Amino acid sequence: MAIKQDLRTIRRSARRFVVENTWALPALGAVAGILLALALRNVGTTHAPGSWGITVDRARDSLIAGIAVIFSGLSIVLALTAVTAQSVASRFSLRLLRIQQRGWRDKVVIAVFTMAAMFILMTQLGLRSFEADQLAPTGGLVTSLVLLILSGATIIWYIGASMKSLRLDRTLQRISRLIRRTVRSLLRERHLDTPAPATALEPPLDATPLPAPRTGYLSNIDTRALHQIATQTGARFGFDIVIGTFRIEGQTIGWVVRGPGGGVQQAAIADAIDLEKARDPTYDIAYGIRILVDMAIMALSPAVNDPYTAVEVVNELTIVLVALAGHELGPRARQGPDGTFEVVIAGRSLSDYFDLATDQILLYGSTDPGVVAALANLAATVEAKASSEADRAHVRAFAARLPGHGTDPAT
């Protein structure tokens, strides 16, 4: 089980590295192009009588033209990327730019172009060892042609995908899927954690504050690593801030009770706490909900005046909250052999996520019958799926605040 957890951690770190660094996939593409060119350098140097072939001189000219085509296509991709990003930000939310930047589509397209460009360039350099009137090796030329065709197909695919990303329904579904994928991912990582009462987060009298190891937004706390430290030293940990909270270096993020096994290394604690420069819906469920709510608020503003977009957002929020309602949320902990909570982490409840998803939309959309009806449907659906009476009562209290339910949200 620990090995699986380690593999998931490595996979998560590798994925984060790739999505955070725009150059990572293009660099891999460049390396792949170079290696492929070296592998095919001498393939097809022997020509049978009457077989197809072109001279090295003509091959060089063709490869130069291929490089020009590659860079022309790349300029189209980059221009389309800028236009798409600007349109998405102005129509929906500025926070979507980070999701756009972290997406795989742009990186994959650039990686394909980089691979093709490096392969053609290396093939061109490899022809220097041949006489101008010799027949060129066909392996590199045929592969260059295939990569040019692949690059063209990639442009067509990219244009179609970019057009789809400008559609509201596609954007909403993409964010909703991202949030639900985050829910599943976090639940897999925390399957050994147990629910804890809010009182477990209260620091004991002998507790000392835990400072933030660096400045940033809390994105994850590795309870497994902290539990190992607690088992070795007898220490107990408590973190009373939720994912997405901002802290500056040295500011308190929790507490620790020293155990009889000796002092706890601050470096070991720091390694178990992830503080990022910006919030990320890949690890922060509340931030994903926040993005959807922002889209609804923008649609409800007098400048846009598009309440049905807010209705569509509420429908997606209903799907998200239903996905959350089926799980035990709130504070979580790792227990010792005697049942003591050795590591306790604060967490949002279903009611917290429900308030985040509904309060501001109701504030700005309370006069629109369609928005109110969608919120009423959301409340009824989540109440039926909620696992605790406290959450159901909270949802009923919200429903009681709604004005008349108005018209069907489908109208």
| DSSP state string for 40-58 | TTTTT----TT----BHHH
Element housing 8 (H / E): helix 2-20
**What mean pLDDT is predicted for residues 373-379?**
94
CB-CB contact of 213 with 269 (8 Å): yes
pLDDT category, 283, cuts 50, 70, 90? Answer: confident
| Terminal alpha carbon distance of the chain | 51
User: Is the confidence at residue 396, as pLDDT, over 90?
Assistant: yes
**What mean pLDDT is predicted for residues 124-143?**
83
Q: What percent of the chain has pLDDT over 70?
A: 89
pLDDT category, 1, cuts 50, 70, 90? Answer: very low
Alpha-helical regions (H) of 56-167: 56-91, 96-102, 104-126, 138-165
**What mean pLDDT is predicted for residues 144-148?**
91
Q: What percent of the chain has pLDDT over 90?
A: 32
pLDDT at 131: 81
Q: Are strands 341-345 and 236-239 parallel, antiparallel or unpaired?
A: parallel
**What mean pLDDT is predicted for residues 136-162?**
88
Helix (H, G, I), strand (E, B) or coil at 231: helix
**Phi, psi for residue 36 in degrees, rounded to 5:** -65, -40
Greater model confidence, 259 or 355: 355
pLDDT at 218: 92
pLDDT at 199: 86
Place of tokens 């004005």: 403
Q: How far apart are the C-alpha atoms of 74 and 230, rounded to whole Å? A: 53
pLDDT digits (tens, 9 = 90+) for 83-132: 877 777 777 777 777 777 667 778 888 899 999 999 999 988 888 878 87
pLDDT category, 25, cuts 50, 70, 90? Answer: confident
CB-CB contact of 309 with 299 (8 Å): yes
Token code pair at residue 374 = 């969608």
Indicate the average pLDDT of the chain. 84
pLDDT category, 7, cuts 50, 70, 90? Answer: low
CB-CB contact of 151 with 73 (8 Å): yes
User: Is the confidence at residue 275, as pLDDT, over 60?
Assistant: yes
What contacts 10, CB < 8 A, 6 or more positions away?
Answer: none
